[in-house]
Chain A
Amino acid sequence: MSILEVKDLTVTFPGGVQAVRGVSYEVERGEVLGIVGESGSGKSVTSLAIMGLLQQNSVVSGSVKLHGQELIGMKEDELVKVRGKSISMIFQDPLSAFTPVYTIGDQIAEAVRIHQKVNKDKAAKRAVELLDLVGIPHPDVRAKAFPHEFSGGMRQRAMIAMAIANDPDLLICDEPTTALDVTIQAQVLEVLKTAQQETGAGIVMITHDLGVIAGMADRVLVMYAGKPVEQGSVDDIYYRPRMPYTMGLLASIPRIDGEEGALVPIEGNPPSPASLPPGCPFAPRCPMKVDMCDEQEPPLVPSGAGRHVACIRAQEIEHKGLTGADVFPVPVIPPSDVVRVPRAERPTVLELDSMIRHYPLMKGAVFKRRVGTVHAVDGISFDIAEGETLALVGESGCGKTTTLQQIMQLAPPQGGRVVVLGKDSSTMDAATRKALRKDLQIVFQDPMAALDPRMPVGDIIAEPLRAHGRKDVEARVAELLELVGLAPEYAERYPQQFSGGQRQRIGIARALALEPKLIVLDEPVSALDVSIQAGVINLLEELKNTLGLSYLFVAHDLAVVRHLADRVAVMYLGKIAEIGTVQSVYDHPAHPYTQALLSAIPLPDPELERNRKRILLEGDLPSPADPPSGCRFRTRCPKFARLSADEQRRCVDEEPSIARLASAVDHGAACHYAEEVEVITASDDQEEK
């Protein structure tokens, strides 16, 4: 019997905007239902409505039955009993779920005591047990810690512990790992799986990450514009999608095991819930659209065993066996002329030589005194040749942002050298620095924050032009807007009138204004929805090839990196762990950290995900104020644990430097015991190729 039965759930916000327009699904015991959708698709609102957590003034209709008991219209005090006991929810941001003034242990114990009749000591003991279950080291000590003393990953685990405290029948996870780094995400997903086995609960997993769903879910529900558009078993959805949106979504994601070449973008933007198109909500973006699609919204109809599709051409898609790549036009990206010249003969546009950046660690409110040093960047070296993309990857806190800022400031570094286009930043004068700013530009991560909200787009793009005294500004602005795929008439609008993807294009146009040679890309697509991402990645690639640009690409998403970069440098705690061409690093990673990183990334491929063995890392990143001696990775290194005591001593005493690996031309790793391992298994169809 199913635990949760949702029927025709609709949510209307004040002002008549329908955020959810008829969602139905069932979850059985021990089953994981994945709900995917982009922002604004109504996926989170649906689960908030089920939990009864929406604001008072929104209207919920339809039926939500938990064990046959209707939840909609239930009184708040009864609902409270259900919430936390039978259903628990895990949010994206665990900090907001804990009260900052009580210890984690107390809060979990309280959750236990609300729904079970146990005394205080028992509840406290249970809290420690639960923390142990979710893999928090020294749970008895950590239970006495306050929420802010936990790292993000630990907090998310503690939240899972609290969620399963009362053996719920259903867990709703809303983007549970989105805010976490990949290695931490892998840990947390593993904990979720354990938690599910322990409790036998059903799980509703809401996320935009198709990789996470592939590894976790049994069934998948795809949402678009407040409605499910496709529903079925995970294999059916991933291998045999029958709705163009799902097909496009699957084809548009870059994969770490993927080939190079253009991604499949879905044109346009999701419709706003306030003004939906008359027929199929996907029609304005659908390449398979026929006139009939505009007449009436296609209902979600059964199509084969246990699956439902909302598309009038689903039959045809099934018969012809169409995939996203067949249906969506794949842009042709012209090849670059620059790369025909061998790398060694091309000029170097950026060179970092043992660059160091330390911050003083201060303490005290009135009398500040220095209590230590944050080794944010501790001697890194790399170079970028003309027409090349180097990706700097690593998890938060690894020093990649500091590196980027140091380069952009064009100021003398604390140690080492930064050479931009042959000019050393420590010896240049103010005039050279200003001239150099023309050739060095940046694209920021958050396209909203990077554009002045009070400036029309035309002024934003014109700003660098005027700053460097260009004539004919208006014509150039129009030209730039066209270059990034926007209409020149948009120049008079303000940034907030654009969607995320368009804003990022504006940011790119601004960076291109002065015809730079090197562009620093700071996580340029990580704030964008999947279907939008592909278009921006393609644009970046095209611009690079046609304009002969070089990119320094800072990212944490290794799949995007594989797609866009030529070379990659993996950073860990202020040092480069591994560097080399994308092919060698991804296919034969030699540093244990790179191996763990690559193996932690979920693949949007259920079959591969099921058979994959993860290299899980223990614990969190050590503090950069107190890095471990010798090899910085040793506290978490899975290889270190397997070494003999003698071999271990070398890791503790001697800091490894980057050594070139014998098997490849351009590949080096900073590990005493580097050894190439294959962690990504190529998918079948690739092997056929």
Chain B
Amino acid sequence: MRSKVVLRRLFRNNQARYGFVALVALVLVAYVGPYIGKYDWTEKDFMAFLSAPSADHWWGTTSIGQDLYAVTLRGMQKSILIGLMVALISTGLAAIVGAFAGYFGGWVDRVLMWGVELLLVLPSFLLIAIISPRLKSGNWLWFVVLLAAFSWMITSRVVRSMTMSLREREYVQAALYMGIPRWKIIFRHIVPNMSSLLIIDATLNVSSAIIGEAALSFFGFGIQPPDVSLGTLIATGSDNATGYPWLFVFPAGLLVLLVLSVNLIGDGLRDALDPGSNS
């Protein structure tokens, strides 16, 4: 019943609808767009270095003559995947670890929180730097896991303390007295009541993962040249943003659109889950 009601509310929600349409459009652009373009992202046009957008190179070219349109779309494919996956994994991990620690308390809490603290004090950047070269290069999925693994701890602490107050609510007690297993109570009564927080967290994580990935790539980890991502493109483009604005504007614009569409979906989902809103 709940999923039915929530889904119906979600589809009635304008924000969510626009967000979905925008996200689907962006995914289509990223995956179908390259077939429409004239150049492949690996091709280099030695006749046009750093040329402004024109009929031939729609979005201009890079300093080594790559077609920016092709390169940006290629980068976006990666970034969409990285952003969404990192956000889902890290928020999910935060919710589960925080809720279990907060709900069960005792040694479960101590062990989980000890883990959280350990990850917090470890210099994550350094660790990723050490680990990522050892992982088979090219397997960027590992990279997603690493990024996610180091970005959930703060949220999970917040989730834990919220759980500790939710645990005392009578409806949680009621569920216990009904004979419902504790792990089910966590997923059914605790996590949905924190959905606003989790959704905000997830949408923030999408953009921070895309940006964070760029920072790591900049130092030579993560996505490695010649492969590209929105993050790496923005990073290189921003250096020359004044002289060759197209290098920066197109990737950055797509990132903004991506983050915006995810935020819209998040807002819509939040409203759909929150019985207090009637939109």
Contacts and interface: CB of A to CB of B under 8 A. Distances in A.
Contacts of A467: 178-180
A138 interface: no
B192 interface: yes
A509 interface: no
Nearest to A437: B179
A463 to B, nearest CB: 6
A452 B171 contact: yes
A449 interface: yes
B170 to A, nearest CB: 4
Interface stretch (A26-34, A372-380, A390-398, A440-448): A440-448
A177 B189 CA distance: 35
A437 B2 contact: no
A267 B237 CA distance: 70
B170 A454 contact: no
A496 interface: yes
Contacts of B193: 452-454
B180 A463 contact: yes
Nearest to A444: B170
Contacts of B173: 444
Interface string B186-200: 001100110100000
B189 A452 contact: yes
Contacts of A446: 170
B273 interface: yes
A408 B174 CA distance: 10
Contact of B175 (A445, A463, A496): A463
Interface string A275-296: 0000000000000000000000
Given A449-B171, A450-B170, A458 B1 contact: yes
A408 B173 CA distance: 10
A549 interface: no
B107 interface: no
A81 interface: no
Contact of A492 (B5, B188, B274, B276): B5
Contact of B174 (A434, A444, A458): A444
Interface string A415-445: 0000000000000000001100110111011
Interface in B195-249: 195
A41 B188 CA distance: 37
A22 interface: no
B275 A497 contact: yes
Contacts of A408: 177
Contacts of A497: 275
A574 interface: no
B110 interface: no
A491 interface: yes
Contacts of A449: 169-171
A458 to B, nearest CB: 4
A440 to B, nearest CB: 8
B171 A492 contact: no
Contacts of A438: 179
A134 interface: no
A441 B177 CA distance: 7
Contact of A450 (B4, B171, B274, B275): B171
B174 A442 contact: yes
Contacts of A491: 1
Contacts of A452: 171, 188-189, 192-193
Nearest to B172: A452
B91 to A, nearest CB: 17
A384 B171 CA distance: 26
A468 interface: yes
A11 interface: no
Interface residues of B, number: 23
Contacts of B171: 449-452
Interface in A469-503: 491-492, 494-497
B5 A456 contact: yes
Nearest to B169: A449
A496 B171 CA distance: 14
Contacts of B276: 496
A528 to B, nearest CB: 16
Interface in B251-279: 273-276
A615 to B, nearest CB: 35
Q: Which of B173, B179, B180, B193 has the most chain A CB within a 10 Å cutoff?
A: B179
A437 B174 contact: no
Interface string B1-38: 11011000000000000000000000000000000000
A544 to B, nearest CB: 20
Nearest to A474: B1
A459 interface: yes
A334 B74 CA distance: 75
A455 B185 CA distance: 13
Contacts of A459: 1-2
A437 B177 CA distance: 7
Nearest to B166: A452
A492 B179 contact: no
A216 interface: no
Contacts of A496: 275-276
B191 to A, nearest CB: 10
Nearest to A494: B275
A169 B171 CA distance: 47
Contacts of B273: 454
A184 interface: no
A463 B174 CA distance: 10
A455 B179 contact: no
A232 to B, nearest CB: 41
Contacts of A510: 174
A449 B189 CA distance: 12
A176 to B, nearest CB: 28
B105 to A, nearest CB: 14
Contacts of A464: 178-179
A462 interface: yes
A442 B174 CA distance: 7
Contacts of B1: 456, 458-459, 462, 491-492
B101 to A, nearest CB: 20
A629 B171 CA distance: 39
B223 to A, nearest CB: 39
A647 B59 CA distance: 103
A495 B273 CA distance: 13
A440 B177 CA distance: 8
Nearest to B168: A449
Contacts of A437: 177-179
Interface in A374-414: 408
Contact of A468 (B4, B179, B189): B179
Interface centre among B173, B174, B192, B274 (most CB of A within 10 A): B174
A454 B275 contact: yes
Contacts of A468: 179
Nearest to A443: B174
A46 B276 CA distance: 28
Nearest to B192: A454
B174 A456 contact: no
Contacts of B177: 408, 437, 440-442
B110 to A, nearest CB: 15
A454 B195 contact: yes
A475 to B, nearest CB: 13
B179 A434 contact: yes
Nearest to A510: B174
A444 B176 CA distance: 13
Nearest to A497: B275
Contacts of B169: 449
Contacts of B180: 463, 467
Nearest to A455: B2
21 contacts: A441-B177, A442-B174, A442-B177, A444-B170, A444-B173, A446-B170, A450-B174, A451-B171, A452-B188, A453-B193, A454-B192, A454-B193, A455-B188, A456-B5, A459-B1, A459-B2, A463-B188, A467-B178, A467-B180, A468-B179, A494-B275
Given A459-B1, A464-B178, 6 more contacts: A438-B179, A452-B193, A453-B193, A454-B275, A468-B179, A492-B1
What are the 3 A-B residue pairs with the smallest beta carbon separation, nearest first?
A494-B275, A437-B179, A450-B170
